[in-house]
Chains A and B, each alone.
Chain A
Amino acid sequence: MDKEPKYVWKKSYTVVLIANVIYFILFYLLMKQYV
């Protein structure tokens, strides 16, 4: 019988990380625009 994988990566985790990378880029652009 196959062993259950220990850590299961879900699409929602990718969404969390991508969303936060986008925030980071937006912050950078905002800073460039107004500083």
Chain B
Amino acid sequence: MEIIDWIVLGATLVFIVLYGVYKTQGSKNVEDYIRGGNTSKWWTVGLSVMATQASAITFLSTTGQGFYSGMGFVQFYFGLPIAMVIICLVFIPIYHRLKVFTAYEYLESRFDLKTRSLAAILFLIQRSLAAGITIYAPAIILSAVLGWNLTVLNIVIGIIVIVYTVSGGTKAVSVTQKQQMGVIFIGMFIAFFLILDYLPEDITFSDALSIAGAGDRMELLDFSFDFDNRYTVWSGLIGGTFLMLSYFGTDQSQVQRYLSGKNVREMRLGLVFNGILKIPMQFFILLVGVMVFVFYQFNATPLNFNPTATEAVYASEYGDEYKALEKRLEANHKYQKGAAYNYAKDPANDRYQEDGKDLSYIAKFEEVDKILRAEAKELIKKASDIVESNDKDYVFIHFILNNLPKGLIGLLLAVILSAAMSSTASELNALGATTSIDLYKRNVKGEKDEQHYVNATKLFTLGWGVLAIIVACTASLFENLIQLVNIIGSIFYGNILGIFLLAFFIKYVRSNAVFIAALITQAIVLVGYFDDWMPYLWLNLFGCALAMGIAILIETLFRLNTPKNA
């Protein structure tokens, strides 16, 4: 990294933080601090909701997903617009009418305190772990490729977020997220057009898409009913709707974003904005990854994009074997490059006949590429138990550091850190608010003034921030922690959504039945996960259906056993 990159990176981040702190200081009451004084316009709500969901790993991982697996991941978001409409129709009017600060407050008015507390505690467990990983995930990647100290990076990201989130609360989170989304969009557009510019002169955008298609990267839609296939139209529409309903409708880190809207209209339009833009945004990020794939058809790539993995295998007894694989990759790349050029001149050049089958050269060399990379991963695993052999998250950052001009590297790093900060800020903000409103304020004895609760919320936010940094710093002690957080989310989300759907739609069910059903459901979902009943994403739907079914059953049994005039 050159000095100009440091200046761009530092200036962008410092400006965002200082602007956020300056514009939002001095909240005098809880309304101001937690709901941002209900002043946000729809575009602020919409950008804030999008910025909360788009973490750094979204940009690193989604582009890597596009590079290795193509555009199919876009189907994961197909349920999002449906969920947005349901939340606008059902959730927002209720939250607004009850003037709640947190989603869980509603559960007390509908059921009772113990159900509210249970949902709040499930949220705190899951989200506090996730906040640590939101910091850790980009930090581990940036430290690997840039040689920065991991612990220092974790602490720096954490402290920056704590400063403005504690200082300005929800308003600071929204204000900074607008700037962060601006940086993210500008950075990603520049990266996209530069990739196209870096392609050989006679390769048009349409040629690039054709090459991507020949390399099996343009399979946008999968209509199969294969349960094991993670991303299909059906899993996106059905599983995705439940997942997005849980996330946007019951997760306080998202609910708090739209509760800051000026009125119901602004809140709704904020989610409508998200419902219209989210899928094109994800499509675009994936397309960037696919264009990186096309770029690397004409340019050499490392056998594994994670430099730590390469170093580990070089230093082991498998070093020579690995170097032999690198030579084979280099030889195969020459064929790949030739095939891509030939295809661009005339797609017919790409076809050949073998055993009566019509085959593609690009697909053939791509298959060899895949085999070599899979063999390399096996060697890395043999060389080290600790190093991550899956290099999907390292592809885009490798491209940035090795190909973008000076200054723009700093801007793209600002994109990644902005995304990390925007998600973490929402998480800390929500953790502080939930602890303060659902647990502290609800249980504290005696009259306290508004300033007391503002200070308490600030203190809780600070505490959760420190905990997130500790989780981030110790995250490397656990294997596969990023996946673990997604699994923990799926284990709890279905149950929480079930509680909320019962509250909204099934008036027949009362508090005790819901509470017992939630506890039973949680136990069954945990057994189901450990006994490997289904891929973990489906636990969302399973948990939700189970919580609702058991609650209705228990309520019926209660009623049958209760005398009518009791």
Taking the closest CB of chain B, its distance from the CB of A32, in whole angstroms, is 10
Residues 76 to 107 of chain B near chain A (Cβ within 8 Å): 78, 81-82, 84-85, 88-90, 93
Of all chain B residues, the one with the shortest Cβ separation from A30 is: B220
Check if B209 is an interface residue, CB within 8 A of chain A. yes
**Residue from A7, A9, A16, A33 within 8 A of B272 (CB atoms):** A16
Distance in angstroms between the alpha carbons of A15 and B276 in the assembled complex: 8
Distance in angstroms between the alpha carbons of A10 and B93 in the assembled complex: 13
Contact assessment for B220 and A31 in the assembled complex, using a CB-CB cutoff below 8 Å: yes
Contact assessment for B218 and A35 in the assembled complex, using a CB-CB cutoff below 8 Å: yes
Taking the closest CB of chain B, its distance from the CB of A16, in whole angstroms, is 4
Residues 1 to 35 of chain A near chain B (Cβ within 8 Å): 7-10, 12-13, 15-17, 19-20, 23-24, 27-28, 30-31, 33-35
Contact assessment for B272 and A30 in the assembled complex, using a CB-CB cutoff below 8 Å: no
Taking the closest CB of chain A, its distance from the CB of B274, in whole angstroms, is 9
With contact pairs A27-B74, A34-B209, A34-B213 given, residues A16 and B276 touching in the complex (Cβ less than 8 Å): yes
Taking the closest CB of chain A, its distance from the CB of B282, in whole angstroms, is 10
Contact assessment for B74 and A16 in the assembled complex, using a CB-CB cutoff below 8 Å: no
Q: Which size bracket describes the interface of B in this complex?
A: 20 to 34
Contact assessment for B88 and A13 in the assembled complex, using a CB-CB cutoff below 8 Å: yes
Binding site for B on A (CB under 8 A): 7-10, 12-13, 15-17, 19-20, 23-24, 27-28, 30-31, 33-35
Closest 5 pairs between A and B when the two form their complex, measured CB to CB: A34-B213, A16-B275, A27-B220, A34-B218, A20-B81
Taking the closest CB of chain A, its distance from the CB of B456, in whole angstroms, is 37
Check if B280 is an interface residue, CB within 8 A of chain A. yes
Q: A13-B272, A31-B218, A34-B218 are in contact. List 15 more A-B contacts (CB 8 A).
A: A7-B90, A8-B93, A10-B88, A13-B85, A15-B276, A16-B272, A16-B275, A17-B81, A24-B78, A27-B283, A28-B221, A30-B218, A34-B209, A35-B213, A35-B219
**Residue from B78, B269, B283 within 8 A of A12 (CB atoms):** B269
Mask for B190-211, Cβ within 8 A of A = 1, else 0?
Answer: 0000000000000000000110
Taking the closest CB of chain A, its distance from the CB of B390, in whole angstroms, is 26
Mask for B204-232, Cβ within 8 A of A = 1, else 0?
Answer: 00000110110000111100000000000
Chain A residues lying within 8 Å of B93, measured Cβ to Cβ, are 8
Residues 134 to 192 of chain B near chain A (Cβ within 8 Å): none
Distance in angstroms between the alpha carbons of A19 and B80 in the assembled complex: 13
Taking the closest CB of chain B, its distance from the CB of A35, in whole angstroms, is 5
Check if B279 is an interface residue, CB within 8 A of chain A. yes
Taking the closest CB of chain A, its distance from the CB of B45, in whole angstroms, is 13
Chain A residues lying within 8 Å of B212, measured Cβ to Cβ, are 34
Contact assessment for B89 and A9 in the assembled complex, using a CB-CB cutoff below 8 Å: yes
Taking the closest CB of chain B, its distance from the CB of A25, in whole angstroms, is 10
With contact pairs A9-B89, A16-B81, A17-B81 given, residues A34 and B275 touching in the complex (Cβ less than 8 Å): no
Residues 269 to 292 of chain B near chain A (Cβ within 8 Å): 269, 272, 275-276, 279-280, 283
Q: List 12 A-B contacts (CB under 8 A).
A: A8-B93, A12-B88, A12-B269, A13-B89, A15-B276, A17-B81, A17-B82, A19-B275, A27-B220, A30-B218, A31-B220, A34-B209
Chain A residues lying within 8 Å of B84, measured Cβ to Cβ, are 16
Of all chain A residues, the one with the shortest Cβ separation from B211 is: A34
Distance in angstroms between the alpha carbons of A35 and B360 in the assembled complex: 12
Chain B residues lying within 8 Å of A27, measured Cβ to Cβ, are 71, 74, 220-221, 283
Chain A residues lying within 8 Å of B377, measured Cβ to Cβ, are none
